[in-house]
């Protein structure tokens, strides 16, 4: 069986861990843009969720909903990353087959009495002062759905025999890969429930969505999914090329960088990643290598990639008197896109 673990209100729980007096109060973790009055909610504890506050909400709106005792704190990713490593250490003592997918989530293989083992893992997590929810199922897709089922502090097993019933209770939008656009299209075709999707004729579905997407929707509806654990999270994505001519011209080099950024952007998107560090690499005609890099707030767009590279290239040209032959672009400190917030919305 495959298990999926997802920490409960992770960033907020980490803060309550080091400041237990906050446990009694609604806690909201913020990502500020300019000052403490503009930005967005990264996450919040379950008390704050009862007030209607949630991840991704504009800070203004969250403040309107907050009570006097609600505490707003700035996100401290370094601290949360350390806690995330402690979680990984716990999992590693139970199994070596682990796929970490974000700062607070991982899939792992569980054999034997899975529920007993999951209870032990939950107890170990509790000894850190945090709580987690675990889902156990025959594949990753179902395990992830199951871990969200009884949140917080949940434990849910979906066996082979119960997966049909389990899925029937879900909304179609809960199926992985069903966004609001797909949902709308399905609705237009009269497919409103997982049950409808399970029963719809394959040809009709393929006419509407194309064969590949139709097959993937069908697989989800009957609870099929991958069990493959991809261990070792990718640490960086990079691309390097030899320029058509050697150059020390900012304009010329940027033209090449833009092309690299386009290719890198596709790979970053296909892997559903966002990045926190950008590096440019220059190699001159004597094979000397120069790098310049910058750490940034989580970014994912091509535009940000190009803008930061532009500054880095300028710096490199000013500081080194080199004629470059090869040029490269690298993004690192990767995070999963779905669990990080896009501030562009605000």
At residue 185, the 3 state secondary structure works out as: helix
Which residues in 147-176 contact ligand TTP (CB under 6 A)? 151-152
Which residues in 6-45 contact Mg ion (CB under 5 A)? 6-7, 10
> Angle between the 77-92 and 10-18 helix axes, to the nearest 10 degrees?
100
> Angle between the 114-127 and 77-92 helix axes, to the nearest 10 degrees?
140
Asked if 155 and 119 count as a contact pair (C-beta separation under 8 A), the reply is yes
Residue selected from 15, 27, 43, 247 as contacting ligand TTP according to rule CB under 6 A = 43
At residue 237, the 3 state secondary structure works out as: strand
Asked if 346 and 279 count as a contact pair (C-beta separation under 8 A), the reply is no
Q: Which does 42 bind (CB under 5 to 8 A by kind): Mg ion, ligand TTP, none?
A: ligand TTP
- For the question of residue 105 being annotated catalytic, the response is yes
R_g (Cα) of the chain, nearest Å: 23
One character per residue 216-255, x = contact with ligand TTP (rule: CB under 6 A): ----------------------------------------
Which residues in 100-129 contact ligand TTP (CB under 6 A)? 103-104
Q: By C-beta, is 294 or 339 nearer to Mg ion? A: 339
- H/E stretch holding 260 reads helix 250-270
Residues 6+ away with beta carbon under 8 Å from 122: 131, 132, 134, 153, 155
Residue 132: beta bridge partners? 7
Q: From the CB of 93, what's the least distance to Mg ion, in Å?
A: 21
Q: Which two tokens stand for residue 12?
A: 């907020």
Q: Which does 246 bind (CB under 5 to 8 A by kind): Mg ion, ligand TTP, none?
A: none
Active-site option among 15, 105, 256, 304: 105
Q: By C-beta, is 148 or 218 nearer to Mg ion? A: 148
* 15 in contact with ligand TTP (CB under 6 A): no
Q: From the CB of 152, what's the least distance to ligand TTP, in Å?
A: 5
Question: Would you name the residues annotated as active-site residues?
Answer: 105
Binding site for Mg ion (CB under 5 A): 6-7, 10, 104
Binding site for ligand TTP (CB under 6 A): 6-11, 42-43, 55-56, 103-104, 151-152, 339-341
């Amino acid at each position: 069986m495959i298990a999926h673990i997802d920490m409960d209100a992770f960033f907020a729980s980490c803060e309550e861990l080091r400041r237990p007096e906050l446990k009694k109060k609604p806690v909201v973790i913020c990502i500020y843009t300019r000052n403490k009055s503009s930005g967005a909610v990264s996450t919040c504890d379950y008390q704050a969720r009862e007030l209607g506050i949630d991840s991704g909400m504009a800070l203004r709106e969250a403040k309107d909903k907050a009570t006097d005792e609600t505490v707003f704190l700035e996100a401290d990713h370094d601290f949360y990353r350390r806690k995330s490593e402690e979680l990984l250490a716990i999992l590693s003592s139970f199994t070596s087959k682990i796929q970490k997918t974000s700062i607070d989530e991982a899939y792992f293989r569980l054999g034997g009495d899975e529920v007993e083992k999951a209870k032990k893992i939950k107890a170990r997590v509790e000894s850190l002062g945090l709580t987690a929810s675990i889902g156990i199922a025959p594949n990753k897709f179902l395990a992830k759905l199951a871990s969200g089922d009884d949140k917080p502090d949940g434990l849910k097993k979906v066996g082979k025999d119960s997966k049909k019933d389990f899925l029937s209770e879900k909304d179609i939008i809960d199926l992985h890969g069903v966004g609001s656009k797909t949902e709308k299209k399905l609705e237009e075709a009269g497919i409103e429930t997982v049950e409808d999707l399970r029963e719809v004729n394959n040809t009709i579905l393929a006419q509407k969505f194309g064969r590949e997407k139709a097959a993937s929707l069908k697989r989800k509806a009957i609870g099929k999914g991958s069990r493959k654990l991809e261990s070792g999270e990718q640490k960086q994505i990079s691309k390097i090329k030899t320029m058509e001519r050697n150059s020390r011209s900012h304009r010329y080099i940027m033209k090449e960088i833009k092309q690299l950024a386009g290719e890198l952007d596709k790979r970053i998107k296909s892997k559903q990643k966002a990045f926190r560090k950008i590096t440019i690499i220059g190699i001159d005609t004597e094979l000397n290598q120069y790098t310049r890099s910058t750490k940034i707030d989580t970014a994912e767009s091509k535009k940000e990639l190009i803008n930061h590279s532009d500054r880095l290239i300028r710096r490199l040209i000013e500081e080194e008197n080199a004629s470059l032959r090869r040029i490269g672009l690298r993004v690192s400190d990767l995070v999963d896109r779905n669990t990080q917030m896009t501030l562009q919305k605000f």
